[in-house]
Structure 1
Amino acid sequence: MDDDDAFLDGFSRGEVSGFTHQDHVRVVYLYTRKAGGEAAVELTRAGLKTLTRRLGVPEKFHETVTVAWARLVSEQVEAAPGRDFTAFIGDNPRFLRKDLLEDYYSREVLFGSEARSRFIEPDLRPLHR
């Protein structure tokens, strides 16, 4: 098993520690490369729900943030396949911005209670090109 497979395996079981923003992006990148964009959204959602439950903070799971990030990253991965994660981030440094979704959503919509429990489309500009 290579490092990427081990990383995804640990993530899917909720057995990762020190899970950073870049790790979130890497999860979507790897799932998209393995299974495609739609599957990446579902696999990322399932893994984050498992991880937050396992850490005892299930309330930290945010449906809109999860789906929006997964869609943005997977769309870019599918548009330019074949690069490793380091090259992908080098070509797409915007994905290192934790506040990137605020380009698409007003804070009121993104951080409202409804967006936490179900996916809400952006109110400032569409996620897809």
Structure 2
Amino acid sequence: MTTFPDLMNEVLADAPRFGHREHVHLTWLAVRRCGVPAAIDLVSDGIQRTARYAGAPRKYHVTVSRAWVELVGHHVTETAETDFDAFVRHHSALLDKRLLTRFYRSTTLAGEAARTGWVGPDLAPFPWTR
């Protein structure tokens, strides 16, 4: 069974810090091993627990967490890349921390409804829903 701590350890084995690229890497691993629905739960729960442990539970954001897993999951299903570096070379937009602003207004993501529950895109639909 894949756990969030296992994924963190695997990602951090090759990284000096845990930044955005490492978040994408962890999400890629989770999606490949568990599928998108289970990865949403796994990643969201892990981030939420980490934020609580760090004394910053309000840093956890439901919509941002789920949207990133769904975006990575969409691209995982588009390619057969089994190497993370090749995957992000092929889908370099995922390394843009501001990618969600293509789909959401900043005011939407800043709102309490998006922070505490799922809110769908309000600027443009996700590519798999077109």
The verdict on a shared fold, with TM-score over 0.5 as the criterion, is yes
* Matched position secondary structure for 1:26: helix
TM-score (norm 1): 0.85
Q: Which contiguous aligned blocks of 4+ residues in structure 1 show a shift greater than 2 angstroms?
A: none
- Write out per-residue CA displacement over residues 49-94 of structure 1, whole angstroms, 9 at most, x where no aligned residue: 1111111111100001001111000111122134211000110110
Asked if structure 2 preserves the Cα contact closer than 8 Å seen for 1:37 and 1:78, the reply is: no
CA–CA distance in structure 2, aligned partners of residues 41 and 87 of structure 1: 23
CA–CA distance in structure 2, aligned partners of residues 67 and 21 of structure 1: 15
Asked if structure 2 preserves the Cα contact closer than 8 Å seen for 1:64 and 1:116, the reply is: yes
Look up the match of 1:67.
66
* Matched position secondary structure for 2:42: helix
Computed over aligned residues only, the root mean square deviation of the Cα atoms, in angstroms, reads: 2.0
Look up the match of 1:34.
33
- Write out per-residue CA displacement over residues 4-28 of structure 1, whole angstroms, 9 at most, x where no aligned residue: x9751549xxxxx942111111111
- Number of residue pairs matched? 120
CA–CA distance in structure 1, aligned partners of residues 105 and 8 of structure 2: 34
CA–CA distance in structure 2, aligned partners of residues 70 and 127 of structure 1: 12
Asked if structure 2 preserves the Cα contact closer than 8 Å seen for 1:64 and 1:118, the reply is: yes
Matches within 5 A, 1:112-127: 112-127=111-126
In the superposition, relative to structure 1, how do residues 112 and 66 fare at CA in structure 2: closer, same or farther (>3 Å)? same
CA–CA distance in structure 2, aligned partners of residues 30 and 98 of structure 1: 18
Matches within 5 A, 1:76-115: 76-115=75-114
Percent identical = 34
CA–CA distance in structure 2, aligned partners of residues 121 and 6 of structure 1: 28
CA–CA distance in structure 2, aligned partners of residues 94 and 7 of structure 1: 26
Which one-letter code corresponds to 1:19 in the other structure?
F
CA–CA distance in structure 2, aligned partners of residues 63 and 10 of structure 1: 23
CA–CA distance in structure 2, aligned partners of residues 37 and 128 of structure 1: 15
